Structure 1
């Protein structure tokens, strides 16, 4: 399985394209999002968006994919990489978003971003918020990231807390949600770094965060099936990579997140060149899965399940975007599938809670690619013994509950957390009108 949702990693909520579609019924209209959805995903993506922020050494760039880049650096700073011990000097510039007032005062928030970081550059994302009691959070580091791993080791930052909230790898969480304390607004700050004396720059195309206040629950209401059909998505098993590159979280058995990411990336046409894969042992099947594990790996968490690192990895491929959000039901997934957009879902369960899985897990990612005529879930489950065995059909009611709940009992009978509907969505940089409508229906713009 994956370590993506180990209870020690985060508090989570318990604590806290038509051408690719098989089946004529996929021509159904897009469902409307529930106005009571307890999630607010907001992002800055357009040229006007980038011009509204506070810039110190950055500038907005227009074009088919607007973004923000280094113009004239604000200064130079030293950074000691905690994972190599190496200290180096970097020029830097910053962009700070306007304040976003959350439509849903939130117990949790997860930032995600899409960027190009050529060799010799990297970036940091921070979050600063205001609580419902009028006080403010510190500037929390939500990630230090580069597409490669030669300049810095991409990393989350442990040990961040102000006594009211904490950062758990990639997730901001109110320490005790039962007090009623909530995050009511936030700003995000980008710091872009480059080697001194160069004209290099990261380019950031999307920066956003998902705030949520999903109620504690062991069970969720069942949704009504509304779509049948299946997307043609590549199938990759994480299990055939057992023992490969143990420096990346002990090899393939823990690679559900990058394996799922790679399936969707290739569904959208993303491909790696032989030169990019040259570092992988030529005797290994599906070397692109090894590549995905290496380039999603979080050196602090010591795993490949950092949610925004996976979304950022997807966006390193030409013409792809990636976001981390929460969805409200399988009806939301049907809306996306109808527009040709598969979804990567995060769930945890006992073996007997998901018929046909054959295993239990404290955290696992799989890809939903369609629905049967009875409404059951068709998933590409990377925890399968071979690529051929990856396609599974899971009972709708079971799948929906293990994905959306925030509390569950583990094998010892202890109450632990569930993901509360966490989902990665990867989609084109220039989505079709139908895709834009489907994404907007689930709260992503």
Structure 2
């Protein structure tokens, strides 16, 4: 394989006039006649939506043909839980991207739609309800003939769904997607939508298996506390501090092979962190991610900075993956996990946030966005640019991290910063639940039960 071929993105944009779509042909068994047929694969991207795999099978012996579409979406690092209150016709018309792995629930009527045959779709809240009604009504004539009692119960539930769709009363739609690739339209984008909440969570082992992630069971490794020759005592504790580690991975954007660099470093007046950077020669993507090297702190931290000078934008900032960020003056807030962990400047963080808003959610930008949403995005980006370029002062940047692993540079250190307020707080049950601490055994964990 040439270097030119290897550097091309695996999933290319879907274009009708693409002269070289790069299909792959594989000899496959025909289940109709038992002879060998040909399967053709095309890996492509639907603009502003998702990566898909188009498969076409044809057998020249019996003429059997079959076409299939499968999702090629990359699995996000965390699952996504979306809750939205539906109280108006505008809410019913919210656009929804439901991935192959998403479960849809309507708590008020105790109704749940499990992942269906690995099919993702772009629809609306009303569309989901309409499809459920149509699906139940389709088999009613047969049910009435074979099982009248059950048919009567289903007919009653169909009426419940119809009343729900007609907004007899407010209801809630909940989308639980362990792959993290589902979205519900924010009607106030890019501002906060009071009826919509999105949170990220760590997948369970069962959910990892659901999305196709399997980890080998690691054998228990016991390390001795001391060695006979005392080599461990002479070994520097910061042996990794000056070393950059390299390991192969796939690009999170185009899935082409690339390399990730990792380094352990210490932030003055803070703590030790692990920085990972990935550069892709295929599509040019550059990412960096930061993870704490010291675990979860005893308390959460809330950092508030008032921008009073252009130099404030150049302050170093460490935003962990558990940290949310808000700008009250813009009525703007991004939840934990939106940008992942980042070690950059405040200017770089705001720039990354802007890029995420304009490219990550296809319901906010791209073909799926309405004219009004695009106009609001334009106005918001102008205000954000004024902050980034040092033209707007008096706004507040708030970082709230229940794990206590976020940091904003104090330019007056070790003295107090008059424009920055740092508050440490006790985590509540919900914070500990999101961090997975409620299920941890912190005392007596060394005890074993036969």
Which structure shows the bigger proportion of residues in helix conformation? 2
Larger Rg belongs to: 2
Question: TM-score interval w.r.t. the shorter chain?
Answer: under 0.3
Report which structure shows greater RCO (CA 8 Å, sep ≥6).
1
